[in-house]
Structure 1
Amino acid sequence: MKNKILIWAGGVLAFFILLTVLLFAFRSRLLEYTIERVIAKVENKYPADLNIGSAEFVDWNSVVLSDISFVPHNLDTLFTTDSVHATVSFRSLFKGRVVFRRLQVTDGYLTAVKNNDVTNFGFLFKNGEETEQPVDTASTGRNYGLLLNRLIETAFDNVPDQVDFKNLNASYTSPNRTIDIRMPYLLMDDGNIDSEVYVRTDSIENNMRVRGTIDPGDYRISASLYAGDTAGIRLPYVQQKFNAKVAFDTLHVSLEDKEFRNDMLTVRGNAMVDDLVLNHEKLAAEDIHVSESAVDYVITLGPNLYVIDSLTEVRVNRARTNIYAAYQNKDSKIIDLKVKTEQVAANDFFDSLPSGLFENLEGIKAEGWLQYDMKFHVNMDSLEQVVFDSDLDASEDFKIVQWGNTNIEKINGSFTHTMYEYGKPIRTFTVGPSNPFYSPISQISPYLRNAILTAEDAGFYSHNGFHEEAFRQAIIKNLKEGEFARGGSTISMQLVKNVFLTRQKTVARKVEEAIIVWLIENLDLVSKNRMFEVYLNIIEWGPDVYGAKDASRFYFGKQPSELNLAEAIFLTSIIPSPKRYRASFDSHGNLRSWKSGYYRMIGGIMRRRGLITQEEYENLYPNVRLYGRARDLIVTAPDTSVVEEEDNDQFELETIDMLDF
């Protein structure tokens, strides 16, 4: 029995030896057959030629492929490489085929070219379906969800299990763009990724280290990018296209899940950025620094629809908020935006404000909690129905325990104020009794006070610093005109802008303005009368003319308490554009005829609100008499004779009779 077993074992061993010898003898044929199948499969799927110059075994389970190229039909070569070293699965040889377990690619060059609408890579995203309907048509628009889904699937479907690239290069060239990427090495081993990358985009060069993991079967990837030098990682195109700068030290980004259904793509994942630096003249006057920022995102893209789901959470340092945003343009353009925070510790809120964004608020210490909610909706075909609600709530124990760079309560007493123009200081003066041009509110004509309140902010003494309806109307007007034409600012907001902020029209300034106004009004830091008094003493009314007393003397040679109704309405009319004060007059110093409409409107409102009598309204005439410096600057016509003055007086009387207020 023992001998039989030995004979059987010897036979089996001999069979395997014989099989191994045969496999070794015919492995080159297996390799040739495998390569033929790979080429046929690729060329059946894509309109391109896959060329492999030679393929041979260099030892028992190692293969070298040389002179490889991938050339689209009638287009520039897309990919070439000098050689590919591959490790063959020994088990696959017994199954009569060759399976590569590990690839080592040396000197690879991926060259993408775009010339007008012709590219040598676009065919990769068409799935080989020649009869497929175009994704960009005049009737349906471009479905970016479909395009992104194809991009993701194409990229993941072509990820090898194990690969070792040495000197991998990629480039993209178009008439107005050049991108060069160089990777000294790229390792992919059982889902782990490690690489060193040098990217040059036009004039920007980034050096970075990349590490991460990838699961092609579930379309999942997580990657971290680390800056390789002190310049950080800078986003390309931003400087050239938007005149802005975006740079960061580290980026962690992941795609956790994707779902494509009914032409809609939904992607989920997260991203985190360390040491983010932003700079744009519309955001802030200097660099904005964010130590840590992160987002857990849920985004849906489809035909005429783009949605950031309300599950999306954004974190800036320690402050968190949920964001919902949607844009659809199937029948009409509709925009929705919702921002909601949970209760956040007040100190965490102020500590989380990015440096360089809000200069006056830096360093504030507070107690209690804050919570913010905002809703915005607009249908571009019915702008009058704009919805805008904004609420910042605080706990009852909320308070400021320490001011930062600026003590907001300084306006309760005398303080030094500097006026700026184009970012440069032009005049500094004291806002208080020591300034001879300072006027207490009781010494300013009620006509001027009431005319300004009527025109600028009728609800000043009743609202809490904001007039949402005025802001809503400003949004409507700006959308209609396609530019920033109206601001919707209250007197509280104008005061804060003049006292604490620069005149630069930036997003940061508007947000900081809103926060300071909220603090003043909701913490009762300054009384309404004091706010209005300071406002009347600092606003600009002409060339180096600031405050009601300076304006009264400049235009009329009198004290602000002596102003009549017509003079008060005129001064009110030029507050929005004080530098254009001369445009209100002709060369003789008479108000131009178009001013009558403004007088009729403001005077009528003041009459209906009981701020002036019916008699005062009926005697209101849209003209004023100039004296002092203003007359010297405005009146350029030669002196008129006494007869002409009498004629002019008669004309004025006739005009009064003709006006219908």
Structure 2
Amino acid sequence: MKKRILIGVGIFVSLLLILLVLLIIFRGKLLEYTIKKVEARIENKYPVDFKVQDAHFTDINSVVLSGISLVPHDRDTLFVTDSVHATVSIRSILKGRIVFDKLQVANGYLTARKNGDINNFTFLFKSDKAEPADTTAKGGRNYGELLNRLIETAFDNVPNQVDFKNLNVSYESPNRTIAVKMPFLKMDDGTINTELTIQMDSIVNNMRVRGTIDPGDYNLSASVYASDKNGIRVPYVEEKFGGTVAFDTLHVSLEDKKYRKDRLTLRGNAKVQNLVVNHPRIATEDVLVKESAVDYVVTIGKDFYAIEEPTKVRVNHAVANLQASYQSNPSKIIDLKVNTEKIPANDFFESLPPGLFENLDGIKAQGTLQYKMSFHVNMDQLDSLKFDSDLDASKDFKILKWGKTNIEKINGSFVHTVYEYGKPVRTFTVGPANPFFAPISQISPYLRNAILTAEDAGFYKHNGFHEEAFRQAIIKNLKEGEFVRGGSTISMQLVKNVFLTRHKTITRKVEEAIIVWLIENLDLVSKNRMFEVYLNIIEWGPNVYGAKDASRFYFGKQPSELNLAESIFLTSIIPSPKRYRSSFDSHGNLRNWKGYYYRLIGGIMRRRGLITEAEYENLYPNVTLYGRARDLIVTAPDTSMSEEPDTSEFELETIDLLDL
């Protein structure tokens, strides 16, 4: 019995050995069959010619593939490589099929080209549906669907184990060239490791990338590090926006992807270290953010883009919850909400990036701050625009130490510098030491009330901001399609003139708002003192600053002596003081169109009890120039000896207009 068993075992082993020998002998045929099958599968899926010129075993389970190319039909070659070394598992050979493992790819070249509508790569993103990937659905393209295809194509083609040597990727078009060189790229069971050099136009970045990827769940986590002292510069920013963006390290992850009801939702997070931003519209110098991060939920669909809850944005120590959406069809609707949790005041000020808010650098504070803002606009119903903004402070909030700028300096005499186009043009003292300084009590009530009426009627009531005026300014600007109205209060104008340079940056408005909030909510400066300083520093003409300088320049009198008509004129040129001459004809008379302004401001002052009915009835839209202003404005020949023209008709017409 034992002998029969031994004989049977021997026969079985012999058969296995014979089978193994046969498989080894015919493995070349099996390899050839496998290659043809792979070529057929790729060519059936895509409109391409995929070829492997040579494939052979170098030992029992090692294969070399050479002359590999992928050429789209009627297009330039997309990919070629010198050779691919692969390991074939013995088990797969025994099963009569070949499974490649541990790929080593040498000298690979992936070259994407685009010229107009012709390219050699978009076929990779074709949909399983009948229409091609670039088909635009009726009413607009669904970028969520397009991005979903791109992500799925990329993840579906991630190899399990591959080692690239000298991989080169490039993109060429008439307007742009991108070249990526990787000395090595290793992917092993979901781990990624590479070094690369990316040249995009004139920008060259050297970096390292480490990360993990799970194609099945569409998970990706990667860290990008600069491998030299130049950091990593973001391309296109200088070309398209005239600025620069650079950073040292970027950590990014994709944690979840869902495509439902024609909308793609992505979840993940990102963190940037040592982010440097430079743009003349943001700040006049480099803005450094040591660390910023975002936990994002983003949804993209047809005519729809949204940043959804629970997206959180962190800048250094300050954290805010962000929600935003943009719908472009059937109406353009924009929604934005920003909410912060209670932030320790010190963390808030320390989180402000250096170089961004010069006057707030170094402030020390106690207590907490919390900010809330909401914005909604339907571009087809602009008058229904909604805007709310509120910064709350705890009861114990206070400034312990001023930093670079003492905001309370305006309570006493101080030196003020006037800037134009970012450059200083005049410096003077705001206080009794300056002979042109006028205490508020020595400035005509007509001028004070006319300015309050025109510029900020609620100045003595609000806390530095007039949300309705700001809302109306946004509506006006959106209707006009350009910036035509500001909505600034006198508090905001004062802060802009005293503390901020005239560089028109986006962040200047934010810094202005913070300083105004501090002054008003901490009662650092009385309203009378704020108005007094404002009246003594605002521009009223060519190198003319302050009410005393203006009253002498135009009328040769003290500001306390200004009458109603003179005060309304001075008020009218505050928004555009350099255009003061346009208010007059060559004889020094106010132009007819000024009558509307007089009627408007005078009428409001009358209704508010700031002037009497008689003063309003006697208000005539003209003034008499003296001093330097007359020499600059009056250019017509002197006709004072001739008979004066009959102005009764004009006077009657003007009075009638004022009565309206």
Give the TM-score category using the shorter length: over 0.9
Provide the residue aligned with 2:565 in structure 1.
566
Is the CA contact 2:599–2:657 (under 8 Å) kept in the aligned structure 1? no
State the alpha-carbon separation in 2 of the partners of residues 129 and 166 from structure 1.
37
Trace 1:478-489 onto structure 2 (pairs within 5 A).
478-489=477-488
Trace 1:373-452 onto structure 2 (pairs within 5 A).
373-452=372-451
SS of equivalent to 2:484: coil
Provide the residue aligned with 1:219 in structure 2.
218
1:656 deviates by 4.8
1:332 aligns with 2:331: yes
1:126 aligns with 2:126: yes
Provide the residue aligned with 1:509 in structure 2.
508
Provide the residue aligned with 1:621 in structure 2.
620
SS of equivalent to 2:177: strand
Q: Which runs of 5+ in 1 are unaligned?
A: none
1:588 aligns with 2:590: no
State the alpha-carbon separation in 2 of the partners of residues 111 and 25 from structure 1.
39
Is the CA contact 2:366–2:399 (under 8 Å) kept in the aligned structure 1? yes
SS of equivalent to 1:196: strand
State the alpha-carbon separation in 1 of the partners of residues 215 and 577 from structure 2.
64
Is the CA contact 1:364–1:400 (under 8 Å) kept in the aligned structure 2? yes
Is the CA contact 2:361–2:404 (under 8 Å) kept in the aligned structure 1? yes
1:482 deviates by 1.3
Matched letter for residue 485 of structure 2: R
Provide the residue aligned with 2:7 in structure 1.
7
Is the CA contact 2:177–2:201 (under 8 Å) kept in the aligned structure 1? yes
State the alpha-carbon separation in 1 of the partners of residues 437 and 285 from structure 2.
34
State the alpha-carbon separation in 1 of the partners of residues 654 and 213 from structure 2.
82
State the alpha-carbon separation in 1 of the partners of residues 263 and 49 from structure 2.
33
Matched letter for residue 47 of structure 2: P
State the alpha-carbon separation in 2 of the partners of residues 529 and 43 from structure 1.
81
1:658 deviates by 5.2
CA distances 1:149-204 after superposition (whole Å, capped 9, x unpaired): 00000000011000000000011111111101100100000111000110001111
1:502 deviates by 1.2
SS of equivalent to 2:319: strand
Is the CA contact 1:45–1:127 (under 8 Å) kept in the aligned structure 2? no
SS of equivalent to 1:102: strand
Cα pair distance change 1:156/1:68, threshold 3 Å: same
SS of equivalent to 1:519: helix
Provide the residue aligned with 1:254 in structure 2.
253
Trace 1:223-242 onto structure 2 (pairs within 5 A).
223-242=222-241
Provide the residue aligned with 2:105 in structure 1.
105
SS of equivalent to 2:311: strand
State the alpha-carbon separation in 2 of the partners of residues 283 and 133 from structure 1.
38
1:263 aligns with 2:301: no
Is the CA contact 1:46–1:128 (under 8 Å) kept in the aligned structure 2? no
State the alpha-carbon separation in 2 of the partners of residues 48 and 638 from structure 1.
85
Q: Which runs of 5+ in 2 are unaligned?
A: none
Provide the residue aligned with 1:62 in structure 2.
62
CA distances 1:76-110 after superposition (whole Å, capped 9, x unpaired): 11000011111111111111100011111111000
Cα pair distance change 1:658/1:421, threshold 3 Å: same
Matched letter for residue 565 of structure 1: L
Provide the residue aligned with 1:497 in structure 2.
496
1:359 deviates by 0.3
SS of equivalent to 2:359: coil
Cα pair distance change 1:640/1:388, threshold 3 Å: same
Trace 1:302-341 onto structure 2 (pairs within 5 A).
302-341=301-340
Is the CA contact 1:246–1:278 (under 8 Å) kept in the aligned structure 2? yes
State the alpha-carbon separation in 2 of the partners of residues 192 and 547 from structure 1.
68
CA distances 1:48-89 after superposition (whole Å, capped 9, x unpaired): 000110100011111001101000000011000011111111
1:19 deviates by 1.8
CA distances 1:479-500 after superposition (whole Å, capped 9, x unpaired): 1111111110000000000000
Trace 1:537-616 onto structure 2 (pairs within 5 A).
537-616=536-615
State the alpha-carbon separation in 1 of the partners of residues 399 and 434 from structure 2.
31
Cα pair distance change 1:175/1:132, threshold 3 Å: closer
State the alpha-carbon separation in 2 of the partners of residues 534 and 85 from structure 1.
79
State the alpha-carbon separation in 2 of the partners of residues 568 and 102 from structure 1.
86
1:299 aligns with 2:298: yes
Is the CA contact 2:168–2:181 (under 8 Å) kept in the aligned structure 1? yes
1:134 deviates by 5.7
State the alpha-carbon separation in 2 of the partners of residues 657 and 420 from structure 1.
41
State the alpha-carbon separation in 2 of the partners of residues 300 and 24 from structure 1.
54
Matched letter for residue 85 of structure 1: H
State the alpha-carbon separation in 2 of the partners of residues 51 and 478 from structure 1.
60
RMSD: 1.3
State the alpha-carbon separation in 1 of the partners of residues 358 and 320 from structure 2.
22
TM-score when normalising by structure 2: 0.98
State the alpha-carbon separation in 2 of the partners of residues 532 and 131 from structure 1.
67
State the alpha-carbon separation in 2 of the partners of residues 63 and 513 from structure 1.
69
SS of equivalent to 1:586: coil
Matched letter for residue 414 of structure 1: S
Is the CA contact 2:133–2:146 (under 8 Å) kept in the aligned structure 1? no
1:7 deviates by 3.4
- The alignment-based identity, stated in percent, is 72
SS of equivalent to 2:310: strand
1:87 aligns with 2:95: no
Provide the residue aligned with 1:532 in structure 2.
531
CA distances 1:636-656 after superposition (whole Å, capped 9, x unpaired): 111114223x32666765555
CA distances 1:398-436 after superposition (whole Å, capped 9, x unpaired): 000011110000000000000011111111000001100
Matched letter for residue 462 of structure 2: H
1:352 deviates by 0.4
SS of equivalent to 1:291: strand
SS of equivalent to 2:360: coil
State the alpha-carbon separation in 2 of the partners of residues 653 and 8 from structure 1.
130
State the alpha-carbon separation in 1 of the partners of residues 175 and 654 from structure 2.
65
Cα pair distance change 1:49/1:130, threshold 3 Å: farther
Provide the residue aligned with 1:24 in structure 2.
24
CA distances 1:322-362 after superposition (whole Å, capped 9, x unpaired): 10000001211000000000001000000001111100001
Provide the residue aligned with 2:174 in structure 1.
175
State the alpha-carbon separation in 1 of the partners of residues 566 and 270 from structure 2.
59
Aligned length in residues: 659
Provide the residue aligned with 2:463 in structure 1.
464
State the alpha-carbon separation in 2 of the partners of residues 649 and 36 from structure 1.
101
Cα pair distance change 1:320/1:653, threshold 3 Å: closer
1:257 deviates by 0.6
Is the CA contact 2:123–2:133 (under 8 Å) kept in the aligned structure 1? no
Cα pair distance change 1:407/1:274, threshold 3 Å: same
Matched letter for residue 619 of structure 2: L
TM-score when normalising by structure 1: 0.98
Q: Which moved more, 1:14-23 or 1:235-244?
A: 14-23
Cα pair distance change 1:614/1:16, threshold 3 Å: same
Matched letter for residue 122 of structure 1: T
1:521 aligns with 2:507: no
1:209 aligns with 2:185: no
CA distances 1:217-252 after superposition (whole Å, capped 9, x unpaired): 111111111011111101111100111111000000
1:118 deviates by 1.3
CA distances 1:521-542 after superposition (whole Å, capped 9, x unpaired): 0000000000000000000000
Is the CA contact 1:45–1:128 (under 8 Å) kept in the aligned structure 2? no
1:310 deviates by 2.1
CA distances 1:600-629 after superposition (whole Å, capped 9, x unpaired): 000000000000000000000000000000
Provide the residue aligned with 2:158 in structure 1.
159
1:262 deviates by 1.0
1:319 deviates by 0.5
SS of equivalent to 2:533: helix
Matched letter for residue 647 of structure 1: P
1:475 aligns with 2:437: no
State the alpha-carbon separation in 1 of the partners of residues 133 and 352 from structure 2.
48
SS of equivalent to 1:643: coil
Cα pair distance change 1:282/1:541, threshold 3 Å: same
CA distances 1:111-143 after superposition (whole Å, capped 9, x unpaired): 101110111001111136544586424x32110
